[in-house]
Chain A
Amino acid sequence: MNLINDTLEINKAMKIKEPKCLYKQVMLIDDNELDNFINEKILETNHFAKRIFINTSAKSALEFLTNISTVGENCGEIYPEVIFVDINMPLMDGFQFIEHFKKGLEDKVHKPKLVILTSSVYHEDKQRAKDISPDIIFLNKPLTKDLLSKIEDK
């Protein structure tokens, strides 16, 4: 609830008339455009974030994150606080993305929440995510309001 209060205060300070949002920036990584559309709409409807960055490949997402992190301290305004990533993607899948991210980018400036957002109900995938880090949030598509609140609580 602190976060919400903070946001409210920030909004008040910035005198923004837009509906209050939980996060400033979040990132969606999914190769399927339809999925991105659905996820974006749900995030918007639930006022989850003010800004949503959409990437259709894990590679381009990594490049984006690398670029903005070079800005250093000042990147706070644009650095995503939550990253949603699909597992099943060509060239680099969600797990590979997380590994790369944790190796090169995490802890440098911010520590965004990592959310695996997948259609997979395959148990092994969930276990694999847990093995990489217990902080990773594993969600099944489609994204719903209830699921979003799980991210908040974490």
Chain B
Amino acid sequence: MSNTLKILHVEDIQTDAELVKRELQKSGISFESLWVPDKETYVEALEHFNPDVIICDHSLPSFTSTDALKILNDTGKRIPFILVTATISESFLVSMVKNGVDDYLLKDRLQRLPTAVLNAVEKVSAEKDKDRYYHEVISQEKKFRALIENISDAILLLNRKGEIIYRSPSATTITGFLSEEVLHKKLDNSFHPDDLTEARHMFKHSYLCPGVVMHESFRILHKNGNYIWVEGSITNLLHDENVNAFIVNYRDITERKKAEKLLQKSEANLKAIYNNTEVSYVLLDKKLNILAFNERTSYIYKRLSGEEFVEGIDFLSLSVIKRIRHVNEKLLKVLKGKKINFETEGADNDGVMIWLSVSLVPVLGDENNVIGVVVSTEDITERKRDELQKEKMTSEIIRHNKNLEQFAYIISHNLRSPVANIIGLSNMIHSTPNMKSEDFKRCMDGLEVSVKKLDDTIIDLNFILQTRKEINEKKERVYFTELINDIKTSINHLLEGRDITIKTDFSELNEFTTIKSYIHSIFYNLISNSIKYRDPHKPALIEINSKVHNSKLVISFKDNGLGIDTVAHKNTIFGLYKKFHPQIEGKGMGLYMVKTQVEMLEGYIKIISAVDKGTEFVLEFPLHDSVAQESKSK
């Protein structure tokens, strides 16, 4: 607005108009005025003059001030309108003010006119400002409302009591409930019963902490009867006069929650597998510190050492790990990217053997570099026991087969040999008509020898078969010193008058629970062999002693006799009817019987010998063999 006021003066009498003008000029107001005497000029002036203020005389010949005001109001323009009149009734004044007159003056009091003009102009200007401001606010609010009502997040305003006083349309979208169904009701009603306590707790907390935003997720009721997951926040703005409410906003996270639940479930499944598997898993970092391990780990390793596995400690600091052979080298190889499998064994706290199968696998990072190691360990004790049992059975079967083969061999050689001779001799007698009596006698002798040999062999075989039968005899405690004395007495005729010394040492172990007749036969055969095959050119010395080694009884028989070439005869030393000293009488059954009986007692025999260097037999018998005991009790 320019500083020069444009004043439109509606007046039918020119002198009066002059009077008003003079009065205004007197006041020093900068103005420009237009005087219009009738309706036509007034309407035109409203349109073209653009007045800042209108001064109107009440009584005009062509129209009244009431008409003038109406015309102005009809244009929609807001121009200060000041009424000038000679007299005025109160009721008229009220109607004029109602219609928008800003001020009035009596004609005889024109001196107040400048003030009235200025006031009216100022009043309208203020009104206009107010209007503009009002419109601005309205449009602003419209914007916010549009925002609030169009975003997918639901917004609620709750009063002090927790009742819903405002609800954005998306709340309907999310919950299915219409605003009229829930407005002015407590929000409490919509929570899942299980979440209610927590929800109330949060409200209480928010109430106590104004202005603080709190986040939480809950299940709330959907109109369809299901509960949906929502996530949101609450802010207590009760103290803010303009708001005076709790502001709650929330969004539907049901889908996300479902996915989370699925993930949790699959994670739980994995964890369940991880913790319930028979295999122990230990995860190590690059420095071989324990990052994680499953429940089985503690079970497997605790049995071996009593040590606890703890996250963060050095894997190699555990004594049970340190005991594994070359474990350092193995882990170093794995850190270089190699995969290693091995088996290891140890005794648990009760001394029971445990076999473990361990595999060390490198964990590779994004660039194929080793970032850690997975150690998986499985207790394979049972499998191993089965394997050992199977091995034992297999070796037993092989042994039986060998025995059968040997039997076939014996039958073909030792039984066939006298039979062949009998046939040969009888053929000869038949086909030689005039046999010399000397030859005939030899034939008859030969027949007798052959028949005797046949009978002996049959008796031997019967004896061997008897020995091989299941052991029926009960085990009893045998004292070696007693055993030696018994044998010495029974072979007294062999010892007497000969330079033979038997030296014994059973200080380490003098007793053995076993089948007495077998151990007696073994001792008897070995001692009598040593005597039989002694070196006739020097005094004979037989040394017998017992030892305990690796929970096995080890008995050694050592002589200084003729010895056997163990290289040339390595496959036949313990064979039936095998003889190595043809000049000395014997059937070749002694060592065969010794070996058979040693094996019947679950033992093992080996020979160390050389020609003229003497002979040593070493016998081993198990002292505590639980596997063997088990198989026997079956």
Contact = CB atoms under 8 A, between A and B. Distances in A.
B340 to A, nearest CB: 46
B588 to A, nearest CB: 8
Interface string B405-446: 000110011001101110111011001100000010010001
16 contacts: A32-B417, A34-B446, A35-B417, A38-B446, A41-B432, A90-B578, A90-B579, A90-B588, A91-B582, A119-B421, A121-B416, A122-B412, A125-B412, A141-B424, A142-B420, A142-B421
B450 interface: yes
B590 to A, nearest CB: 14
Given A119-B421, A142-B420, 8 more contacts: A31-B582, A38-B421, A38-B428, A38-B446, A119-B413, A119-B420, A141-B423, A144-B427
B627 to A, nearest CB: 35
The A interface is mostly helix, strand or loop, or mixed, namely loop
Interface in A129-143: 140-143
B457 to A, nearest CB: 12
Contact of A140 (B420, B431, B442): B420
B512 interface: no
Interface of B: 408-409, 412-413, 416-417, 419-421, 423-425, 427-428, 431-432, 439, 442, 446, 449-450, 578-582, 588
Contacts of A7: none
A122 B432 CA distance: 31
B413 A88 contact: yes
Nearest to A141: B420
Contacts, number: 70
Given A34-B449, A91-B580, A42 B424 contact: yes
Contacts of B413: 87-88, 118-120, 122
A90 B421 contact: no
Contacts of A38: 421, 424-425, 428, 446
Nearest to B425: A38
A2 interface: no
A25 interface: no
Contact of A142 (B408, B427, B581): B427
Nearest to A32: B417
Given A88-B413, A90-B580, A122-B409, A35 B428 contact: no
Contact of B442 (A37, A57, A142): A37
A31 B577 CA distance: 14
Contacts of B424: 38-39, 42, 141-143
Nearest to B418: A119
A144 to B, nearest CB: 7
Interface centre among B408, B420, B423 (most CB of A within 10 A): B420
A45 interface: yes
Interface centre among A31, A87, A91, A144 (most CB of B within 10 A): A91
Contacts of B416: 119-121, 141
B451 to A, nearest CB: 12
Contacts of A31: 582
Given A91-B580, A121-B412, A122-B412, A42 B428 contact: yes
A104 B21 CA distance: 168
Contacts of B450: 34
Contacts of A91: 580, 582
A93 B567 CA distance: 15
